Amino acid sequence: MSWLIRIKKKYTVKTTNPISELTGFARKHSPYYRNSLADIPEAISSLCELPLLDPADFWKDSADLAQWPVLTAPLAHALVFKTGGSTGGGRLSVYARTEWQRTVEAFGRSLSEQFSSRDRVANLFFAGDLYASFLFIHDSLAHVETPITEFPFTGEVDPPMLADAIVQHRINVLAGVPAQLLTFASWLDQRGLALPLVDTVLYGGESLFASQRQLLEQVLPNARIASIGYASVDGGFIGASHRDCIEGEHRTPDGHVLLEIVDQHSGATIEACDQTGLLVLTNLHRRLMPLIRYPVGDLACWREPSGTAQRKFALRGRSGNSQRVRVGILSLMTDEISESVRSISGSNDWQLLIEHDDGRDLLTVKYVVNEGSTRIEDRLEARLIELYPQIPQLRGAGLLQLRIQSCRFEDLARHPRAGKSLRIVDLRCYGPDEREVRDGYVDPAQLP
């Protein structure tokens, strides 16, 4: 008889559905999710079993963080950033420090292939007043796997100082928002200067358009221009920029978020390629301020079939009902504009038209009144400048034109299928030679 005795034991492997685990935690600790998911079974297997989050309800009462029902715990070991809007307005986005660290680690690793060994990187993003972009890029660069050196200038650096520093320290990578990069490029162009030493430009926070790219290429003739990645202070890390991504394209950061593209009107999930819909995010790691089926405010379409690892998608502009619109360094809040139009003109019917022409953003606020008045238009313009004090700076640099126009109700652009009036009409081109009409937007020929 063998002295070896085989013993068979039955082991039970416990598997956790990440969606059920996330929703279970949110229900237990967040009054907002406990209420919004009250009619949803606890055991779910797919995101489409959950309702889309309503951004207006989500951000309601967020000004008082101690009473905001979305949060799952009192603030401790946390970071608080502003999502945009005026100095006294905007919305606050909250991260536990461990969540922030996990986010910048993932974003930094995704950036690694954008750099070469011994690159010297000028961080030109903006800091202060609770803005996140500079700190986000600074912390992310610390996790880039390629050995690089950061020069943390911020977006406030003067063009002459930056130009001298690039030459003196042989800085070859510029990273910043398009408006800051273009301001620097315009300064160089006006003086007939060029910086062939710069071989890479990484932009973020806003799309870069064809005429803007031409200016950058003129003064930075050897630079490869690419997105630094797709992130927002509320949504966190949303899309990675890889070398195979063309203008507007990013890849899904698998394991960090779940992304969906849904029809804006039916809510049906879109899996087909090149069909535009609303981009919806579920963050798998945020627990202090959970984001479950959160519409990020952008339109997008898939570029690769379902099931593809790190599935590629392309941005197609802002949603017509977005709560926040990014134009250069401006973050325009629709509720702030709505309140300004209502209080000054007495009208609840308005529309923001965004165009881009010859290197300049054109913003037109259209409002419906029985009789137009230059006094109303002057007051509205003054109020918008009060809310967004960067407007005069952008005007002076030739990067922005602001127009206020009264109109008739029938002059407001509507969605071609649903017939609904749109708060935001974004006519900027987000892809190479794009002429298509994106869902949620209208062709210029359809505008009055």
Q: What is the pLDDT of residues 192-221, one digit of tens each?
A: 999 999 999 999 987 787 778 888 999 999
Q: Does domain 324-446 have CATH number 3.30.300?
A: yes
Cα separation, 302 vs 312, whole angstroms: 6
Tokens coding 341 = 């139009």
| CATH number corresponding to 16-251 | 3.40.50.12780
pLDDT at 416: 58
Cα separation, 282 vs 17, whole angstroms: 14
Domain boundaries, the chain: 16-251, 252-318, 324-446
* Residues 376/382/387/391 CA torsion (nearest 10 deg): 120
pLDDT at 299 over 60: yes
Name the pTM for this structure.
Answer: 0.77
Q: What is the pLDDT of residues 88-112, one digit of tens each?
A: 456 889 999 999 999 999 999 999 9
| CATH number corresponding to 252-318 | 2.30.38.10
Query: 3-state DSSP call for residue 421?
Result: strand
Q: What is the pLDDT of residues 31-73, one digit of tens each?
A: 999 999 999 988 888 899 999 999 889 998 888 999 999 999 9
Q: Give the DSSP letter string of 110-143.
A: HHGGG--TTEEEEE----STT--HHHHHHHHHTT
Under the banding of pLDDT at 50, 70 and 90, the label for residue 87 is very low
